[in-house]
Structure 1
Amino acid sequence: MSAISFQNLNKGELTQLLDVARDAIRGHFSDDLPQPPQLDLYSKKLLQPGACFVTLTVNGQLQGCLGTTVAHSPLVMEVHNKARASAYQDRRFMPLVEEQLDDLMVEVSVLSQPEDLAVDSEQALVDYLDNNKVGVILSDNHRQALFLPQVWEQLPNPKDFIRQLKLKAGWNSVYWSPSMKVQVFKVSSISGKYYY
């Protein structure tokens, strides 16, 4: 079965995915055991394998962001699992607590298939990113870091964007290697306030 293309999702389908993410978080705060999505309620399109990230912010500050670049399971399930993981398993943050829910924003990003970008230097990557505000994955020597395209809102300068991405991977800001692998991708995303 082929993976769903991020471009094939309409606003209604993205809204359904946002609701799945909200429900996954809501289930943690209810007395009942959290329930996975009931798959027979969703279209065939949303049941195709899909890669996604779920990003949580509280008062504009990042509170969790986890996902995958490879489509393993139905998109609906991926969104559900990544929403729960972002809320409670992102090791960079304390787990989400009830007091934060009033100020919680949830964003679901469905990824395109990452494509290799042939660049022979960091400057070549900067030049490419000057005209292409895409998501970027850098990997080299068992280290990897990813920024979604939305990060351009905080880091509009390509040099700063790359520098911060390298720091995220654990390299120093001037690190570059001839074996550095660069992949780029696009997303289709939707965000909204969490509600009870």
Structure 2
Amino acid sequence: MSATSYQTLNKGELTQLLDIAREAIRGHFSSGLPKSPEYSLYGRKLLAPAACFVTLEVNGQLQGCLGSTAAHSPLVLEVHNKARASAYQDRRFMPLTEEQLSQLTIEISVLSTPEIIDIDSEQALVDFLAQNKLGLILADNHQQALFLPQVWKKLKSPTNFIKQLKLKAGWSADYWSKTMTVKTFDVTSIKGKYY
């Protein structure tokens, strides 16, 4: 996805994506097979390939969050698929139930293309993040972990942000490697209630 389409998604287009996520989740509880989005209803920006994450919360507690950092499919299809996956396939949580829908909020994050930044130490990364509250991907030795920029609301310190991301990847809190790859990205996002 180009930086142009990432930056020009407007409120109406983001609202359409939120509606797609709601329908994807709703389809699980209705009879018959879930329907994919009808492409003819959407403009070219929503039909362009784009990467996204869909985050679900019930009563303010994380209930599911899955996505991709690379654009593989039209954005409308990515949102549809990631909403269903977040609701029913995130292994960290029990599948979403119908009783939870009244307390459900959905957040869709459309990612910019992650960019590798040249960081030679953890302290350099701390210094960079102190000035740039971006999404972060750390990768090394076939392991990686990602935090969306929204995680800054809960983990305000760059040191703690990095530490928690390393733990998420399965490394120790003090792990650092000369071969660590650091990527940053931003998102355009929208959050709304299921009902």
> Which TM-score band applies after superposition, normalised by the shorter structure?
over 0.9
Q: Which residue of 2 aligns with 1:115?
A: 115
Return the offset for 1:32. Answer: 3.0
Return the offset for 1:96. Answer: 0.4
Q: TM-score, normalised by structure 2?
A: 0.98
Q: Which residue of 1 aligns with 2:127?
A: 127
Q: Which residue of 1 aligns with 2:156?
A: 156
Give the length in aligned residue pairs. Answer: 195
1:22-41 to structure 2, matched below 5 A, reads 22-41=22-41
Q: TM-score, normalised by structure 1?
A: 0.97
Structure 1 gaps of 5+ residues are: none
- For residues 88-111 of structure 1, give each alpha carbon's deviation from its aligned partner in whole angstroms, at most 9, with x where no partner exists: 000111100111111000000000
- For residues 54-113 of structure 1, give each alpha carbon's deviation from its aligned partner in whole angstroms, at most 9, with x where no partner exists: 000001100000000000010000000000000000011110011111100000000000
Return the offset for 1:5. Answer: 3.1
Local SS of the residue matching 1:63: strand
Contact 2:3 2:112 in 1 (8 A): no
The one-letter code of the counterpart of 2:78 is E
Return the offset for 1:15. Answer: 0.4
Local SS of the residue matching 2:130: helix
Structure 2 gaps of 5+ residues are: none
Work out the CA distance in 2 between the residues paired with 1:67 and 1:4: 21
1:1-196 to structure 2, matched below 5 A, reads 5-195=5-195
Runs of 4+ off more than 6 Å: none
Work out the CA distance in 1 between the residues paired with 2:128 and 2:144: 20
Work out the CA distance in 1 between the residues paired with 2:64 and 2:45: 27
Identity across aligned pairs (percent)? Answer: 71
Local SS of the residue matching 1:23: helix
- For residues 117-161 of structure 1, give each alpha carbon's deviation from its aligned partner in whole angstroms, at most 9, with x where no partner exists: 100000000000001000000000000000000000000000000
